[in-house]
Structure formats: C-alpha cells, structure tokens
Structure 1
C-alpha cells in the first residue's frame, strides 16, 4: 500500500507543478475526491474546482517554483510527507510538510504546513 500512497502523492506534486488549467483539472480529478478539502496557513479551499483555481492562482504568482516530494510516512488512511520548492534545477527556497487523509485511493483532506 505504501507504494500506492507514494504514487498518489507524487501525482499530487505533479498537479501542483502543472501550469495548464485544463491539464491540472484532469490531474485533480485523479488525485482528489470530489468533496476534497485543501488547507494551508493562507487558505481553506473546498472542492476540486476551487482547488484547481487556487493552484492556478499560485502558479501565476510563482511560476518559477517547482515542487519536489520528500520523505513519505503512511499508516492506515493517512500520510505525512515533506516537500521542497525552488527554481527548476536550483536550490529550494521553501519547504514544508503536508498531512493527508485518503479515501479510496484519493486525497480527501490535505493540510499543508510551511517551514
């Protein structure tokens, strides 16, 4: 199961890196449950469409940032993972960790924390 969890989290990172709204919407449908909730210190975003809009706005503000998945810990239907973000090929300028609750192989809740 941990391979499947790592795979969905890697796909989530790819979705967050996607700059095309339509392509990102496809990825969001793969990764998130329909009633998913995304939170971080700056936002509480319910539902796939709003999550897509939120990520799209972020991508416009910081198009140079590329997110990279770090260590993943998993048990039952929850996961905790580290991430970094920085210019493509450059040193990270941001990092954090997210706590995820999964349902049927998709993200139902994700709570992001910034370092």
Structure 2
C-alpha cells in the first residue's frame, strides 16, 4: 500500500474512531497542527477543532462507518471518494469526495463534499 493510501486509511480510521483519546492521537499523527477541515456543515481549525467536530459527529451518527474509495493524486494534492453505511455493511447511506492538500506527508487542508 502506498504512503498516500496508508495516510487516507488512517484518516478513515480516525473518522470512525469513537474513543476521544485515540481519535486525538490519530489526528496528531495525520494532520499538521494548523490543519483546516471543512465540509458543508462546518469549518474547524487545528487538532482540537478537528477532534471536537469529529466527536460531535460520532455522537450524532454512532453506527455510521466510513469506507475509503478511489484515490487520485498529483504532487501534494489528493482527491478521494468515500462512502458510509450503518455498521459498515449494506448499501451506503452517504457518499462524497474529499480534496486534500498535503504538507510534509500530512494533511494540511481537507475539503469534504457530499453527494
């Protein structure tokens, strides 16, 4: 598995993580300290902002499990698809694509788009 695929696998794992301490550790591993996460519902800054946003999401959708889709890359930019389904099985109830800017092999900015 490529470095980029490993990074995005860890990102999906962080998004699915329900334990706040484990999620915070994962965020610090894959995001730059000044990272920005945005999607149609929010824009948050830094590790604490990202952890808070993901923690709130996990409380709203505790059984929703995300899966990584196709990854495209050039230079320090990525575009990847994702889907989410209850318990990680069955037909997805949500999907989209995320655009990522990397810095030093970590996520500096991520912009999520919903289908």
TM-score range, shorter chain: over 0.9
TM-score of the superposition, structure 1-length normalised?
Answer: 0.97
Structure 1: which 5+ residue stretches go unaligned? none
Residues 57-99 of structure 1: per-residue CA shift (max 9 Å, x gap)? 0000000100000000001000000000011222210000000
Instruction: Give the corresponding residue for 2:105.
Output: 105
The SS at the match of 1:83 is strand
Instruction: Give the corresponding residue for 2:80.
Output: 81
Q: Over the residues paired in the alignment, what is the CA RMSD in angstroms?
A: 0.9
The SS at the match of 1:30 is helix
Mapped to 2, the partners of 1:8 and 1:53 lie a distance apart of: 21
Structure 2: which 5+ residue stretches go unaligned? none
Alignment map for 1:43-62 (pairs within 5 Å): 43-62=42-61
Mapped to 1, the partners of 2:90 and 2:29 lie a distance apart of: 29
Runs of 4+ in 1 over 4 A off after TM superposition: none
Mapped to 1, the partners of 2:10 and 2:26 lie a distance apart of: 8
Instruction: Give the corresponding residue for 2:23.
Output: 24
TM-score of the superposition, structure 2-length normalised?
Answer: 0.97
